[in-house]
C-alpha cells in the first residue's frame, strides 16, 4: 500500500474508516474527498469491483501482488473462493495482532511486528504476512511490554471486544487463534464476491 497517502482521504475515498481518526472525521464528512465528492454519480460495474478490491487491500494493508497470491491459493481450496480468501487474510499475523487489541490500526500492528515486538509460540516473527494456525499463541515480547503503546493496549483501549476465533488475555498481551475464522465473524467491510469477479474478468 502507498503509505504516503493520507489515511483519512483514503478512508473517505473507499468509504471505510481505516484509523480511529478517520472514523471520527468521517462522521462529519462521509462523502468522497475532492470538489466533486458530494456529486451523485452512477458507478460502472468495473468501478464497483475495483472499489471492493481496493477496500480489501486497504483494510489488510497489503499490496496487489500479495492479494493475487492469496486469491490463487483460495481458488485451490474447497468452499466459496471469496470467503476462503478473506478467512485466509484474517489469519495473517498483523490482522490477529490488530483483532487482539495489541495495536489500534493495521499499520501500527505491522510496525510492531517488523520491529520485533511480537513473538509466536515464543519465537520471534517479524513478517506481518505470517499465517497463523489454530493453537498458535501470539504474545508481545517481555522487554516490549513496558513501552507506552503496549501499556495502553494492556488496558483494553484498542479493542472493545474480540472476535470469537481469538482468545485474548489482555493484561498479559497474549492471544491464541483457537480456530479458523468464518466470514460472518470477520469485521471487514467488503463484498468479497466482487473481488473474485474483478480478477476473473
DSSP run (H or E) holding 4: none
1 pLDDT above the threshold of 70: no
Write down the pLDDT at residue 42.
Answer: 72
- Quote the pTM value: 0.88
- Which CATH architecture fits 92-179? Roll (3.10)
pLDDT at 4: 65
DSSP assignment of 119-167 equals EETTEE---TTPBP-TT-EEEE-GGGTTSHHHHHHHTTTT-SS--TTEE
CATH of 7-32+43-89+189-200, one of 3.30.2010.10, 3.30.70.330, 3.40.462.40, 1.10.1050.10: 1.10.1050.10
Instruction: Flag whether pLDDT at 36 surpasses 70.
Output: no
- The pLDDT > 90 percentage for the chain reads 75
Residues 138/174, Cβ–Cβ less than 8 Å = yes
Compute, in degrees rounded to 10, the torsion defined by CA atoms 17, 19, 23, 28. Answer: -100
Amino acid at each position: 500500500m502507498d503509505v504516503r497517502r493520507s489515511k483519512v482521504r483514503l478512508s473517505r475515498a473507499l468509504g471505510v474508516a481505516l484509523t480511529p481518526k478517520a472514523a471520527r472525521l468521517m462522521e462529519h464528512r462521509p462523502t468522497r474527498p475532492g470538489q466533486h465528492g458530494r456529486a451523485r454519480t452512477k458507478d460502472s460495474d468495473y468501478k464497483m469491483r475495483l472499489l471492493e478490491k481496493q477496500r480489501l487491500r486497504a483494510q489488510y494493508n497489503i499490496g496487489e501482488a500479495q492479494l493475487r497470491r492469496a486469491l490463487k491459493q483460495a481458488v485451490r481450496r474447497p468452499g466459496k473462493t471469496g470467503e476462503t480468501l478473506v478467512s485466509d487474510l484474517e489469519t495473517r499475523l498483523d490482522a490477529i495482532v490488530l483483532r487482539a487489541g495489541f495495536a489500534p490500526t493495521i499499520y501500527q500492528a505491522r510496525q510492531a511486528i517488523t520491529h520485533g515486538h511480537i513473538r509466536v509460540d515464543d519465537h520471534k516473527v517479524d513478517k506481518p504476512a505470517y499465517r497463523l494456525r489454530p493453537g498458535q499463541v501470539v504474545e508481545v515480547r517481555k522487554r516490549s511490554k513496558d513501552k507506552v503503546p503496549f501499556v495502553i493496549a494492556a488496558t483494553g483501549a484498542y479493542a472493545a471486544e474480540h472476535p470469537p476465533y481469538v482468545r485474548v488475555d489482555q493484561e498479559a498481551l497474549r492471544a491464541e487463534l483457537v480456530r479458523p475464522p468464518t466470514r460472518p465473524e470477520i469485521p471487514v467491510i467488503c463484498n468479497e464476491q466482487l473481488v473474485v469477479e474483478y480478477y476473473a474478468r
